[in-house]
Structure 1
Amino acid sequence: MRDAAAVQEVQRLRAQLERVQGRRLDAPVLPVHPAIGELLPGRGLRPGSAYSLGRSTSLLFALLAQPSQAGSWCGVIGMPGVGIEAAEHIGVDLSRLVLIPDPGPRWLAVTATIAEVLPIVAVRPPARAKDADVGRLAARMRERGSVLLVQGPWPQTEAMIDVDSPQWSGLGEGHGILSGRELTVTVSSRRFPVPRRNRMMLPASDGTLSTIPWGERGGENELEVSAMPPMRAVS
Structure 2
Amino acid sequence: MHAGATYAVDSASLALALAAGASRAGEWVGFAGCTDFGAEAAAELGIELARTVLVPDPGEHWLEVTAALVDVLRVVVLRAPAAVDERTAGILDSRLRTRSSVLVVHGDWPRAEARLSLEESVWTGPSSGTGQLTERRARVVVRRGARPPQRADLAWPGVRRADTSTQDLRRVSPMGAW
Q: 1:93 aligns with which of 39, 48, 51?
A: 48
Following the alignment from structure 1 to structure 2, what is the Cα–Cα distance between the partners of residues 77 and 176? 35
Q: Kindly, what percent of the aligned residue pairs are identical?
A: 37
CA distance in 1, matches of 2:123, 2:26: 32
State the AA in 1 paired with 2:154: M
Aligned to 1:72: 27
Pick closer, same or farther for the CA change 1:100–1:163 going to 2, 3 Å: same
Deviations 1:87-130 (A, max 9, x none): 11111111211000010112112111221111211100110123
Who is 1:110 aligned against? Answer: 65
2:3 corresponds to 1:47: yes
Runs of 4+ aligned structure 1 residues displaced above 6 Å come to: none
**Matching of residue 196 in structure 1 with residue 150 in structure 2:** yes
Question: Which residue is 1:153 aligned to?
Answer: 108
Letter in 1 for 2:101: S
Offset, 1:204? 4.2
Contact 1:52 1:153 in 2 (8 A): yes
- TM-score normalised according to structure 1 size: 0.63
Task: Specify every segment of 5 or more residues in structure 2 that has no aligned partner in the other structure, as ranges.
Answer: none
SS in 1 for 2:54: strand
Q: Which has the higher contact order (CA 8 A, sep 6+)?
A: 2
The letter for the 1-side match of 2:150 is R
Counterpart of 2:10, as a letter, is: G
Q: Which residue of 2 aligns with 1:169?
A: 124
Q: RMSD in angstroms over aligned alpha carbons?
A: 2.4
Work out whether residues 58 and 203 of structure 1, in 8 Å CA contact, stay in contact via their aligned partners in 2.
no
Structure 1: segments with no counterpart, 5+ residues = 1-44, 212-222, 224-235
Equivalent pair of 2:15/2:105 in contact (CA under 8 Å): no
TM-score by length of 2: 0.82
